[in-house]
A and B are shown apart, each in its own frame.
Chain A
Amino acid sequence: MSGPSTYVPKSAIGRWFEARLPLMGMVHSSFIAYPVPRNLNYMWTFGAILSFMLVAQIVTGVVLAMHYIPSANEAFDSVTNDIMRNVNYGWLVRYMHTNGASLFFFAVYIHMFRGFYYGSFKPPRELLWIIGVIIYFLMMATAFMGYVLPWGSMSYAGATVITNLTSAIPFVGNSIAHWLWGGYAVGAPTLTRFYSLHYLLPFIIAAFVGLHVWALHVPGQNNPDGVEVQNVDRDTVAFTPYATIKDVFALSIFLIFYAWLIFYIPNYLLDPDNSKVANPLMTPAHVVPEWYLLPFYAILRAIPNKLMGVIALFAAIVVLALVPWLDRSPVKSAKYRPTYRFFFWVFVVVCIGLGYLGSQEPTEGTALIARILTAGYFGFFLVVMPLLSFTEKTKPIPASIADAVLPNKPAQAQA
């Protein structure tokens, strides 16, 4: 998997190019000849889907940036009157970009939950996982700043809520908030700097995605049985055509969902309050972020103390990076870890519950549930994972990937 490519171009011009810049060899060894476990299921197609969505967001974003005006007075009109009405197919590009962001997060959550379920974060893939957490955090920052750009009512309110978190930091908090805002409240300077950073961060994400794929290609993919590749001929297949066609097929199904969103329910995920221009004197009745940030919003609101709430919010993201050291079970895949599997699904329900609570106004009753679910969220990482690492009674794992998958082998997995 690692090491110089064995690719020899067929044409003379190809060999001339390859001797000077071995690009084709790199593509060949990384995406054509590269061996992947033969037992991967469709949960492994989301990496390719995510790469496509990143490119789609960048392309649609660059087109939008040609017409968007990052000024507090003109931003809303440039989006809702110019791009949506006057620019040819501006409405299409804008809907692709907003709904693309939501689907980008949908895919990343499935990608992450795949990692939790199958133990893809375990040695030797810890750094791969940490790079993934960094990408996730950058995505959240990018999405947050992107949401501010149309300068709608909810854009302004969201910007105010999140940037105010920094004021919770003792001593320097207020100074940091004023520095971020470029003033004493969210205003025109905030918009222009968010625009600059929103344009920049996706390319930083792309760089980290490059590192992510590189870090992946060193040990190779994990697989649903959690057993490492032992024999390349028996346990793996070449990336092209096997994984390529599977990724493309999965992408086409994903695109059906994307098209359904864009063409038939484009405003489903768009908060109607964001169709009103920002007015510092009028806050929306219910301030909520986009759905993909709701669980963290619920955690933030669950803690009664402002600073502790902010710390809990960031801890909820940082704890993801610690997972390789919290879960030390030698068995990777939840397929063979019945107790962990139960808690995994409880964790999924906890996350969905937190998301729902994040969308509702906090009341007496929901505050208690939010705290219980927050405890459940952190409990999964800080209590369940370490406890189960060595005390869990796991099922016997297959001797090899080939044993798990190929039917004509006598040494069957006993799962």
Chain B
Amino acid sequence: MTRFEITALATAAFALALAAGLALAQEGADQPNPPRQEWSFAGMFGTFDQAQLQRGFQVYKEVCSNCHALTIPFRTLAKPGGPGYTENQVKTLAATYQVTNAEPNDKGEIFKRPGTPADDFPRPEAYPNDQAAAATFGKAPPDMNLLAKSLKYERGFPWFVFDALPGLEYQEMGADYIDAILNGYTKPDDPQWNLYYPGHKIAMPQPITNGAVAYKDGTAPTLTNYAKDVSAFLTWAAEPNLEERKKIGLRVMLFLFVLAGLLYFTKKRIWEEVH
């Protein structure tokens, strides 16, 4: 068994896998994958764009929150690495919501009161639980806490290998998917036909169109912008620690590289005597 034969075997195995992967990918011709977008938070040094997160929050608040729950605490909107609202802005925002108090009052009645930053965003008023929502819509609108993390599409071989490599890493599948869905209502006569949804029939009719939300910072009020901004916001909602994670990660990687280098030379020095 020579080196050549081993190399030939390995190449044959790889080629077979590649062919299989490509063959499986052909089935997706009329079911296109969400196109990859550019995101400010992608890559090793990615960060959220605060203005984008604030616009995305506005889109969520004015459009999506009517049906979709997002049960994160109000105070997270002021945390570093997020939309960057001030404490006062968060307090004012929370007070505009009526939240159900956890404990009944002295008379034993469940009551509502204005929200505080410590409270979670309340669920949509009309749909307090999944069964009520499903009764109205046919299918319960998914909670948005982890929506961006729960969406995927087949990458196929060899792309799923590249998705893990430094420089090529792909963690933004959810954001691309949400953006694609929102832009994917390409048949005006069928409000539930979506280009990117598997099987094309989606329970949610087109939720947002051009001009639906008036941006305050001068960004054009177009569907493409709404889709990008709300996708970024939902990615933050699913991964609020993304910026801190990448920042700490850089320090850890640098430390480990230096450590590995030092250990390598120490090892060589120690083993010199033996060789």
Determine whether B137 belongs to the interface, using a CB cutoff of 8 Å to chain A. no
Residues of B within 8 A of A92 (CB): 245, 248
Contact of B271 among A242, A265, A345 (CB under 8 A): A242
Indicate if the CB atoms of A249 and B246 lie closer than 8 Å: no
Contact of B263 among A95, A248, A356 (CB under 8 A): A248
Residues of B within 8 A of A262 (CB): 249
CB distance from B158 to the nearest CB of A (A): 11
Residues of A within 8 A of B249 (CB): 259, 262-264
Of A223-231, A301-309, A311-319, A335-343, the one contacting chain B is: A335-343
Instruction: Report the Cα distance A413→B71, complex, angstroms.
Output: 69
Indicate if the CB atoms of A345 and B248 lie closer than 8 Å: no
Indicate if the CB atoms of A272 and B166 lie closer than 8 Å: no
Contact of B245 among A266, A268, A356 (CB under 8 A): A266
Interface residues of B in 257-275 (CB under 8 A from A): 257, 259-260, 263-264, 266-267, 270-271, 274
Determine whether A81 belongs to the interface, using a CB cutoff of 8 Å to chain B. yes
CB distance from B216 to the nearest CB of A (A): 28
Of B51-59, B60-68, B148-156, the one contacting chain A is: B148-156
Residues of B within 8 A of A241 (CB): 270
Indicate if the CB atoms of B146 and A342 lie closer than 8 Å: no
Indicate if the CB atoms of A256 and B257 lie closer than 8 Å: yes
Indicate if the CB atoms of B270 and A276 lie closer than 8 Å: no
Indicate if the CB atoms of A276 and B142 lie closer than 8 Å: yes
Indicate if the CB atoms of A91 and B257 lie closer than 8 Å: no
Dominant SS among interface residues on chain B: helix
Indicate if the CB atoms of B259 and A268 lie closer than 8 Å: no
Instruction: Report the Cα distance A260→B169, complex, angstroms.
Output: 10
Determine whether B76 belongs to the interface, using a CB cutoff of 8 Å to chain A. yes
Indicate if the CB atoms of B44 and A264 lie closer than 8 Å: yes
Determine whether A360 belongs to the interface, using a CB cutoff of 8 Å to chain B. yes
Indicate if the CB atoms of B253 and A80 lie closer than 8 Å: no
Instruction: Report the Cα distance A265→B163, complex, angstroms.
Output: 9
Instruction: Report the Cα distance A353→B19, complex, angstroms.
Output: 13
Count of chain B residues near A, Cβ 8 A? 51
Contact A252:B150 (CB < 8 A) given known A81-B71, A342-B6: no
Indicate if the CB atoms of A342 and B241 lie closer than 8 Å: no
| A223-262 Cβ-contact flags toward B at 8 Å (1 or 0) | 0000000000000010001100110110011011001101
Instruction: Report the Cα distance A245→B268, complex, angstroms.
Output: 9
Indicate if the CB atoms of B5 and A342 lie closer than 8 Å: yes
Residues of B within 8 A of A253 (CB): 260
Instruction: Report the Cα distance A352→B9, complex, angstroms.
Output: 14
Determine whether A346 belongs to the interface, using a CB cutoff of 8 Å to chain B. yes
Contact A85:B72 (CB < 8 A) given known A245-B267, A252-B256, A264-B169: yes
Instruction: Report the Cα distance A262→B251, complex, angstroms.
Output: 13
Closest chain A residue, CB of each to CB of B156: A360
Determine whether B171 belongs to the interface, using a CB cutoff of 8 Å to chain A. yes
Determine whether B209 belongs to the interface, using a CB cutoff of 8 Å to chain A. no
Residues of A within 8 A of B174 (CB): 272
Closest chain A residue, CB of each to CB of B238: A275
Indicate if the CB atoms of A338 and B1 lie closer than 8 Å: yes
Indicate if the CB atoms of B149 and A267 lie closer than 8 Å: yes
Indicate if the CB atoms of B1 and A346 lie closer than 8 Å: no
Closest chain B residue, CB of each to CB of A286: B154
Determine whether B132 belongs to the interface, using a CB cutoff of 8 Å to chain A. no
Determine whether A332 belongs to the interface, using a CB cutoff of 8 Å to chain B. no
Instruction: Report the Cα distance A352→B17, complex, angstroms.
Output: 10
Indicate if the CB atoms of A272 and B267 lie closer than 8 Å: no
Indicate if the CB atoms of B240 and A85 lie closer than 8 Å: yes
Contact of B157 among A249, A345, A356 (CB under 8 A): A356
CB distance from B113 to the nearest CB of A (A): 22
CB distance from A126 to the nearest CB of B (A): 27
Closest chain A residue, CB of each to CB of B166: A260
Instruction: Report the Cα distance A338→B71, complex, angstroms.
Output: 61
Interface residues of A in 84-141 (CB under 8 A from B): 84-86, 91-92, 95
Indicate if the CB atoms of A346 and B72 lie closer than 8 Å: no
Closest chain B residue, CB of each to CB of A90: B241
CB distance from B203 to the nearest CB of A (A): 13
Residues of A within 8 A of B267 (CB): 245-246, 249
Residues of B within 8 A of A356 (CB): 17, 20, 157
Interface residues of A in 61-81 (CB under 8 A from B): 80-81
Indicate if the CB atoms of B256 and A256 lie closer than 8 Å: yes
Indicate if the CB atoms of B260 and A252 lie closer than 8 Å: yes
Instruction: Report the Cα distance A64→B227, complex, angstroms.
Output: 36
Indicate if the CB atoms of A268 and B263 lie closer than 8 Å: no
Instruction: Report the Cα distance A266→B244, complex, angstroms.
Output: 13
Indicate if the CB atoms of B9 and A349 lie closer than 8 Å: yes
Apart from A92-B248, A272-B150, what are 5 other A-B pairs with CB-CB below 8 Å? Answer: A81-B72, A242-B274, A256-B253, A263-B250, A349-B13
10 cross-chain pairs, A with B, having the tightest CB-CB distances, nearest first? A263-B249, A275-B150, A342-B1, A249-B263, A272-B152, A275-B149, A252-B260, A275-B146, A338-B1, A245-B267
13 contacts across the A-B interface (CB closer than 8 A): A81-B71, A241-B270, A252-B256, A256-B260, A264-B246, A264-B249, A265-B163, A271-B152, A273-B152, A275-B149, A342-B1, A349-B10, A349-B13
